[in-house]
Structure 1
Amino acid sequence: MTERERREAQEMRFLSPYACLSADSRGRARPVEPCPVRTCFQRDIDRIVHSKAFRRLMHKTQVFLHPEGDHYRTRMTHTIEVVRIARTLARGLQLNEDLTEAAAYGHDLGHTPFGHAGERVLNEIMPGGFEHNVQSLRVVDRLENDGDGLNLTYEVRRGILCHTGPDRAETLEGQILRLADKIAYINADIDDAMRGGIIYPMDIPLEISNVLGFTYSERIDTLTTDIIRESADIGALRQSDACREAMDNLREFMFEHVYRNPVAKGEESKAQGMLMRLFEYYCHDPDMLPPEFQDIRERESVERAVCDYIAGMTDNYAVEKYSAAFIPMSWGVK
């Protein structure tokens, strides 16, 4: 028996009857020989973490554009926080932690530079619209690995796609990701907003804090333990009425005081203008696209290739390409 087979046997003995077992995966679009050590979902974790798209997350905005300070979240640190919350939930419910972890690592691979500001502008100008969860799936299916994709398992792909939007993943592990993402970003954004002086602890309505707690760690602990307690042994994910209502109210509070705050979001229009002009620039002269996007240009469309290129940019790389395209370079005579 291989190490992988021993792990699969342990899953059968110890995981919940509602868990998705590695041995029962619906597999990959292109079959591969099983790894003797890793389960299929552990293998997917490694494929995502070693990808270029994952590394770029460290230089992509989470909420605040170019904040002054080392401790604000990036898209990378947000992803890691989602992973940890998702694994806690999966462990508490005796579900497959590896499947949950893989989907969590991949869920934001398709996010644009400059956070949701970049997503909104691409959605406006891209024919057919743009959604970061759909783009994340496109990254792992089409764009990574020199155009071959990462060839992930069906269950991980569905978790990535369904972490937001109207569709729901078939597995509880995939459904966990939607809750973990919301818990992570709401509480992290509160923490960053307080660090930046946008809001203060006493600004959070008392009726919310009385339910969820008064600190970052208290809120996360309350929300995760509530889901585990309410969902145990029922084959579905549930929140108590009190926690669900408090979490929804906290999200509304964040939209009113942070996500639409002109101090926190004052530079977003500049970022959106940059991306819009870059989109027009590359559509007008697609020969300027890197070689790896020329095949997409020929097989799909110029707009699709330009969208893929811009969506994959980091914040700084987008600024660099904008400067090269539209800002005169200095020169001198030697």
Structure 2
Amino acid sequence: MGLGGEPRALWAVDPATSRGRLVAESPSPTRTPFQRDRDRIVHSTAFRRLAHKTQVFLHTEGDHFRSRLTHTLEVAQIARALARAFRLDEDLAEALALGHDLGHTPFGHAGERAMGRAMAEFGGFDHNAQTLRIVTRLERRYAAFDGLNLAWETLEGLVKHNGPLTDATGRPLPPAHGDGPPDGLLPYAIRDYAARQDLWLWSWPSLEAQCAAIADDIAYDAHDIDDGLRAGLLDLESLEAVPLVGGLILEVRRLHPGLDRSRLIQETIRRLITRMIEDVVAESFARLETSLPESADEVRYVGHALIVFSPEIAAADREIKRHLFRHVYRCDGVMTQMRAAERVVEALFAAYMETPSDLPEEWRRDLDVADRPRLARRVCDYIAGMTDRFALIEHRRRFDDTPELV
């Protein structure tokens, strides 16, 4: 049911007709398949670790900056609000938002860059693919299977929430955000799982997955502006020249003259999130009324995204990201810390490859150290699962030059 008891829309995913799980399980008497998936994600070890993984700013820079976990919770809130507006399955949208960043390394994108270089000759590294690996192999909580044994629709949404990964012939498409293995192949974890279950990598994902993807964009824009202002890397005056944000700052100043800086920032961020959500709802309903998909599968066949910004807000979104890239993500202070973090990840990878016996016993089990690709993937899985803090503890145990990052 939708908001206020409204029936689920025809274009929504129906949990009653889920394609099921790789390992068959008895249905829950109290939860839909997607409520069950959401709960499994929340109770996973990988989800708990997000509390101590970098979003943009490291923990030493302040207690109030977003971690990967708080970012994830904010994305889930926005995704659920969008799903409610479109009368979708809110639980599936929430599960996808809660699980979308499970595969991130310690130190955010810096760790991912370092891991990508370390794994270049062994199939590469991609955090989205690593999420799939976590929920299908690495989580070991259940007696009957490895991973979380999530429903088909949840796995599909986690793998391709940014769009199709292959064309209709199975040929890999360029990555949506420019990352991925350098050889043009699908990321290793996705190739590996595709041999076990067909996730329709050629199609667009459900509307629930599209809600999670655009919620990620909205959260990034709004909350990285907030954190950038808190860190002193952004100022309100320069933001007045940024499309959409600048207009909202002026709007708040006009409606609340003399408002203190802290409240001015929070009111602007609140309005930015609201404005972007309202834009997505209006633009997407227009697209849905044109396409009129009568099932979740028809959404997959449409051939393009349906949950989108209007052209005006999409252009503003690009300008916001450019501003954040120049003044936050690539500023000298952040880059100095990120380069140091990359060195930590690279050094740990080299150390475990040289001395696999230093891996914990459960990570050495059934491992043929002479099989270098398999060893590299095991080392990669181990390091990618580390929190920032644990990565530094492990580095300090082996080296004398550990940077003071957290």
TM-score by length of 2: 0.75
Q: Does 1:289 align with 2:359?
A: yes
2:232 corresponds in structure 1 to: 197
**Residue of 308, 329, 334 corresponding to 2:381:** 308
Contact 1:112 1:118 in 2 (8 A): yes
Q: Does 1:185 align with 2:220?
A: yes
1:332 corresponds in structure 2 to: none
How has the CA–CA distance of structure 1 residues 211 and 157 changed in structure 2, closer, same or farther, with 3 Å as cutoff? farther
**Residue of 149, 152, 163 corresponding to 2:150:** 152
**Residue of 10, 16, 23 corresponding to 1:23:** 16
> Hey, what's the Cα distance between the residues in 1 that align with 2:380 and 2:361?
15
**Residue of 394, 402, 406 corresponding to 1:321:** 394
**Residue of 133, 139, 143 corresponding to 1:138:** 133
Contact 2:53 2:67 in 1 (8 A): yes
Letter in 1 for 2:208: E
Letter in 1 for 2:138: L
Letter in 1 for 2:140: N
> Hey, what's the Cα distance between the residues in 2 that align with 1:290 and 1:143?
15
TM-score by length of 1: 0.90
Letter in 2 for 1:187: A
1:208 corresponds in structure 2 to: 243
Per the TM alignment, residue 66 of structure 1 is displaced from its structure 2 partner at its CA by 2.8
Instruction: Tell me the secondary structure at the aligned position of residue 216 of structure 2.
Output: helix
2:197 corresponds in structure 1 to: none
Aligned residues: 320
Instruction: Tell me the secondary structure at the aligned position of residue 14 of structure 1.
Output: coil
Q: Provide runs of 4+ in structure 1 moved above 6 Å.
A: none
Per the TM alignment, residue 169 of structure 1 is displaced from its structure 2 partner at its CA by 4.6
Instruction: Tell me the secondary structure at the aligned position of residue 151 of structure 1.
Output: coil
**Residue of 274, 277, 295 corresponding to 1:224:** 277
Instruction: Tell me the secondary structure at the aligned position of residue 317 of structure 1.
Output: helix
Per the TM alignment, residue 212 of structure 1 is displaced from its structure 2 partner at its CA by 6.7
- Once the two structures are superposed, what CA deviation does each residue of 1:31-83 show, in whole Å capped at 9, x if it has no partner? 10000000000000110100111001000000012343221100000000000
Instruction: Tell me the secondary structure at the aligned position of residue 238 of structure 1.
Output: coil
> Hey, what's the Cα distance between the residues in 1 that align with 2:396 and 2:281?
49
How has the CA–CA distance of structure 1 residues 211 and 326 changed in structure 2, closer, same or farther, with 3 Å as cutoff? closer
- Identity percentage of aligned residues: 44
> Hey, what's the Cα distance between the residues in 2 that align with 1:229 and 1:198?
33
Contact 1:296 1:305 in 2 (8 A): no
Contact 1:231 1:237 in 2 (8 A): yes
How has the CA–CA distance of structure 1 residues 306 and 253 changed in structure 2, closer, same or farther, with 3 Å as cutoff? same
**Unmatched runs of 5 consecutive residues or more in structure 1:** 1-6, 329-334
Instruction: Tell me the secondary structure at the aligned position of residue 148 of structure 1.
Output: coil
> Hey, what's the Cα distance between the residues in 2 that align with 1:64 and 1:297?
36
2:326 corresponds in structure 1 to: 256
2:47 corresponds in structure 1 to: 54
Letter in 1 for 2:49: R
> Hey, what's the Cα distance between the residues in 1 that align with 2:235 and 2:366?
47
